[in-house]
């Protein structure tokens, strides 16, 4: 197979009948609607966002308020999810945790994209030295346990820079600094392929500057895969936050992080399992929903992937 014979590729664009006036998003929506798992995922994410929004203005009890009843009290009518080891209302804390989860997930996805997209565009578009440098970093970071670097970064950022208290922001920054490579690598690949296409050539011929080429012509055409990648960054970030907080290295104590709540309940697991079950189930369902939607989006944005 030294010299592969040229294979005639069937023109997929022609074979696929375009519906009238379908933009990227409406087209994807039309396909994702048929994906039952993705729809269930979207409903769950919807509930998560609404819960998070409600928890800003109202929770049954303040999330930090201790001793609203007997400690370790199992679920009852007054407290549907029971009370934890400090007598805090678990339902309120789960609601507050939803807000933290949304903040960490969405914030990380945004910052990862903000770092990854420009770097990927630059590497793919200018190639040469720029690409070599950026790809070098991407490859190095792929060979290391990034989660542990992020863990150390959280520690260093919160201790060394006294400006930032250890909060959601530090976790988002640490996560993003170690995870932008996924997006950058994807965008770089897309850009490398797109910059050779005729429409980019045409735009260049009509005098478009590099900036316009990148952001008006190449970026919109790479948007589908970028959205998918960003969606998958959300559960990764949520899991990272839970992982840190569970180990006691994440958000400080009164913050109702699901990971920290699981760690609280972990010690009284044999006689009060409800404390540990509530946050871990909430976390698992959330991660599941984001993964389902991510899978659905991937299929929706790339019709060729479908069987």
Partner 1 sequence: MRGTLLYVGQRLILIAITTILVSSIVFLLLHQIPGNAFLNETRQSPQTLAAELHHYGLDLPLHTQYFNWVQGVLHGDLGESLVNRGVKITPLLIRETSVSATVGFFALLVTIGLGLILGVIAALRQNTWVDYVASSAAVVGYSIPSFVLAIFGLLIFGHYLYDWTQGTIYYSPGFTSPLTQVEVPALALGLPYASYVARLTRASMLETIRTDYVRTAWAKGLKARVVVIRHALRNALIPVVTILGPLTTGIITGSVVIENIFGIPGLGKEFITSILARDYNIVIGVFTFYAALVGLANLTVDVIYPVLDPRIRY
Positions touching partner 1 (CB under 8 A) are 1, 37, 140, 143-149, 151-153, 155-156, 159-160, 235, 239, 242-243, 246-249, 262, 266, 269-270, 273, 276, 280, 283-284, 287-288, 290-292, 307
Nearer to partner 1, 172 or 174 (CB): 174
Q: Between residues 102 and 244, which has the closer beta carbon with respect to partner 1?
A: 244
Cβ at position 172, least distance to partner 1 in Å: 18
> What gap in Å lies between CA 99 and CA 120, rounded to an integer?
31
> Nearer Cβ to partner 1, position 25 or 247?
247
Residue 144 to residue 124: CA distance in whole angstroms? 23
SS3 89: strand
Closest separation in Å from C-beta 105 to partner 1: 14
Q: Which is nearer to partner 1, 83 or 262 (CB)?
A: 262
Token code pair at residue 147: 């989660």
Answer positive or negative: Cα dihedral of 143, 145, 147, 152. Answer: negative
C-alpha to C-alpha distance for 290 and 307, rounded to whole angstroms: 22
Q: How far is the CB of 195 from partner 1 (least distance, A)?
A: 26
Residue 288 CB, nearest approach to partner 1 (Å): 4
* Dihedral sign (CA 111, 113, 116, 119): negative
Sign of CA dihedral 75, 80, 81, 84: negative
- Nearer residue to partner 1 within complex by CB, 134 or 262: 262
Secondary structure of 1-39 as H, E, C letters: CCCCCCCCCCCHHHHCCCCCCCCHHHHHHHHHCCCHHHH
CB of 146 to partner 1, least distance (A): 8
By beta-carbon proximity to partner 1, the closer residue of 2 and 12 is 2
Report the nearest approach of partner 1 to the CB of residue 101 (Å).
Answer: 13
Backbone angles phi, psi at 83, to 5 degrees: -120, 155
């Amino acid at each position: 197979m030294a010299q592969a014979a040229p294979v005639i590729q069937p023109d997929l664009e022609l074979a696929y009948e375009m519906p009238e006036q379908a933009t990227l998003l409406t087209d994807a929506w039309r396909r994702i609607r048929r994906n039952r798992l993705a729809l269930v995922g979207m409903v769950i994410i919807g509930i998560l966002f609404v819960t998070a929004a409600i928890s800003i203005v109202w929770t049954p009890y303040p999330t930090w308020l201790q001793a609203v009843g007997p400690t370790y009290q199992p679920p009852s009518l007054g407290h549907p999810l029971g009370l934890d080891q400090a007598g805090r209302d678990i339902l309120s804390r789960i609601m507050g945790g939803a807000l933290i989860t949304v903040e960490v997930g969405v914030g990380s996805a945004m910052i990862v994209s903000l770092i990854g997209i420009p770097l990927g565009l630059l590497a793919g578009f200018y190639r040469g030295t720029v690409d070599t440098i950026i790809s070098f970093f991407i490859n190095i970071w792929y060979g290391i346990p990034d989660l542990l670097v992020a863990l150390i970064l959280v520690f260093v950022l919160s201790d060394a820079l006294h400006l930032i208290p250890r909060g959601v922001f530090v976790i988002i920054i640490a996560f993003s600094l170690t995870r932008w490579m996924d997006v950058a690598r994807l965008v770089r690949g897309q850009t490398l392929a797109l910059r050779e296409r005729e429409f980019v050539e045409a735009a260049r011929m009509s005098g478009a500057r590099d900036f316009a080429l990148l952001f008006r012509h190449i970026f919109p055409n790479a948007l589908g895969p970028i959205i998918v990648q960003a969606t998958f960054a959300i559960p990764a970030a949520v899991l990272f936050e839970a992982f840190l907080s569970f180990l006691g290295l994440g958000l400080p104590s009164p913050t109702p992080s699901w990971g920290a709540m699981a760690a609280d309940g972990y010690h009284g697991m044999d006689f009060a399992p409800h404390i540990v079950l509530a946050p871990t189930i909430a976390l698992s369902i959330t991660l599941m929903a984001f993964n389902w939607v991510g899978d659905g989006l991937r299929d929706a944005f790339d019709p060729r992937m479908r069987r």
